[in-house]
Amino acid sequence: MRHILLLLFIGICFHAAAQEGSKISGSIQANGNIFIRDSLIGAANIPQYDRQLFGGETWLNLNYSNWGFDVGVRFDLFNNSNLLNPTDSYTANGIGRWFISKKIQDLSITAGYIYDQIGSGMIFRAWEDRPLLIDNALVGVRLQYDITPNFFIKGFSGRQKNLFGQYGSVINGLNAEAYFSFGEEKPWSINPGIGLVHKNINDQTVASLVNVLSTYNPVDSIGARYNTFALSLYNTLNLGNFTWYVEGAYKTPENFFNPLAERTLFNGGTTLGKFVLEPGTVVYSSLSYANEGLGISLEAKRTENFTFRADPFVALNRGLLNFLPPMAKLHTYRLKSRYIAATQELSEQAIQFETRYSLNDKWTFGVNFSNITNLDQLLLYRDIDFEFNFKPSTKLFFLWGLQMQRYNQEIYEEKPGVPIVETIIPYVEVLYKVDRYKSLRFESQFMHVGNDVKANSRQDYGGWLFGLLEFSIAPHWTFTASDMFNIAPGKNSPEDNGEKLSLHYPRFDIFYNIKNNRFSLSYVKQVEGVVCTGGICRLEPAFNGVRFTVNSTF
């Protein structure tokens, strides 16, 4: 039935496209993986390597506008995909999204699959992140009324998308936001907002929760709640060169699973992990200053028991109703991004400071510092990064820096008993513009890793050396070749007859751009690690194979 609806929609769009004032647009993204088994690095023992050999995903968007309406539909295809679970296979297809929107004077109406958020997203964010297969659209209705050009109020109701289905809980929300400016000689402004979200869990989920709670020792007995409310207050102040954002949120007591909470057994012993009934709070603030080559930003956040999901039985990246801002710099270099701090929903206290100063047109200096602990002051992550940029001419650019990290692998990757990983990473990049169309870029990083005294070896996979060479011919071609070499193997490095191996993990890429189309073909050999987007992370197993992508808009 869904496929028939899609074909019907396509036919209507192309028929209507011939009419005056109509507009049709769209896009397609297709990914493909050819899996080449390599048991030495751990690229084995999952369906794709053992028997399927190929996996891929495709998203096709079609949008049509006419008579004041905006209509869209998206077809999703997953064949032997490893996005949902990197150690398993997922195959499905169907309508991944559809929507209809219309504005009647100052009232905007949207029905279908909706992406939106309140404030920074602390109590509600419906969003999509394809590399992690996060698609948390709200399936329902949203109304927004613009009382004035600078003041709106909106409300929504629906259920959160769950792959090609929906979670059982019903989500309702209200949000009001305004903008006020003052002064003429020294103007300043405020942008306050308030949001309220109500989650109502269905009877089936509550019954399952009651069944689990009935197995607990009476000392751990808690009630099951149907309803949870989350309130958020936020404001942005702009005053001269300063911008200050602050947001605070409170969530009424709800049932959620705490993996670190002690549960009392009937024999008198204890174990970790149980459902609890607790309220939640989160406070976040950022202050930034920018003027004449100097930029400074300071962020702080405190989070306690602020997991907020459509279903209390899902974990990791499933069923997320909200988004908590990350408190560590998002690095682009390969070794600098090997250890990344995933946002902690239950217990996190963090600060981040960054400054950049341009001495002149040639020299720029930057420092970033992040420190993240839990509420008991246990160190989770610390990162200090010094960076220098030098541009002696329009053809030549140098960047070099030094990063030092401390990363709690026991918490972030759930590896019990391992020490905090300590790294020192010097890095350098050189960009040379051969002429108007051609450029050559070189990149290199070295990671020194501390020792694991108990294992009598270096921590995790040990030390690494990374190098990359990129050649670009604008506007069409880019060629890259890189290698990540395990120069000083650690306790988790592959071994042969008891001897740790220094393995190479090469990668080769070809990118081609033509008009609205982008194609890529890559050979990738990748070590196990963490993949993150905006503080949302997951542990990725090793990969060996060929990847290709197609991205096109029309």
Phi and psi torsions of 293, nearest 5°: 85, -5
Residue 540's contacts (CB-CB under 8 Å, 6 or more residues apart) are 86, 526, 528, 529, 530, 531
Phi and psi torsions of 166, nearest 5°: -145, 145
Distance of alpha carbon 35 from alpha carbon 30, whole angstroms: 16
Residue 104's contacts (CB-CB under 8 Å, 6 or more residues apart) are none
What is the tens place of the pLDDT at every residue in 66-124? 988 999 999 999 999 999 998 899 999 999 999 999 999 999 999 999 999 999 999 99
Tokens of 154: 């909106």
Cβ 403 vs Cβ 336: under 8 Å: yes
Residue 88 buriedness (CB in 10 A; 0-12 / 13-18 / 19+):
exposed
Instruction: List the one residue out of 124, 135, 131 whose CA is nearest residue 163.
Output: 135
Distance of alpha carbon 211 from alpha carbon 225, whole angstroms: 14
Grouping H, G, I as helix, E, B as strand and the rest as coil, residue 94 is strand
Amino acid at 297: S
Grouping H, G, I as helix, E, B as strand and the rest as coil, residue 308 is coil
Residue 535: left (phi > 0), alpha (psi -120 to 50), or beta? left
Q: Which helix (H) or strand (E) holds 4?
A: helix 2-17
Instruction: List the one residue out of 86, 445, 119 whose CA is nearest residue 282.
Output: 119
Q: Which helix (H) or strand (E) holds 436?
A: none
Distance of alpha carbon 442 from alpha carbon 41, whole angstroms: 27
Grouping H, G, I as helix, E, B as strand and the rest as coil, residue 460 is coil
pLDDT tens-digit profile, the chain (554 residues): 555 555 555 555 555 555 566 899 999 999 999 999 999 999 999 999 999 999 999 999 999 999 889 999 999 999 999 999 988 999 999 999 999 999 999 999 999 999 999 999 999 999 999 988 999 999 999 999 999 999 999 999 999 999 999 999 999 999 999 999 998 888 999 999 999 999 999 999 999 999 999 999 998 889 899 999 999 999 999 999 999 999 999 999 999 999 989 999 988 889 999 999 999 999 999 999 999 899 999 999 999 999 999 999 998 889 999 999 999 998 889 999 999 999 999 999 999 999 999 999 999 999 999 999 999 999 999 999 999 999 999 999 999 999 999 999 999 988 888 999 999 999 999 999 999 999 999 999 999 999 887 778 899 999 999 999 999 999 999 999 999 999 999 999 998 888 899 999 999 999 999 999 999 999 999 998 887 777 777 778 899 999 999 999 99
| Every domain of the chain and the residues it spans | 1-91, 105-279+295-318
Alpha carbon distances (Å) from 55 to 34, 179, 518, 528, 548? 7, 48, 20, 19, 11
What is the tens place of the pLDDT at every residue in 307-360? 999 999 998 889 999 999 999 998 889 999 999 999 999 999 999 999 999 999
Tokens of 260: 């670190």
Distance of alpha carbon 450 from alpha carbon 421, whole angstroms: 7
Distance of alpha carbon 159 from alpha carbon 551, whole angstroms: 30
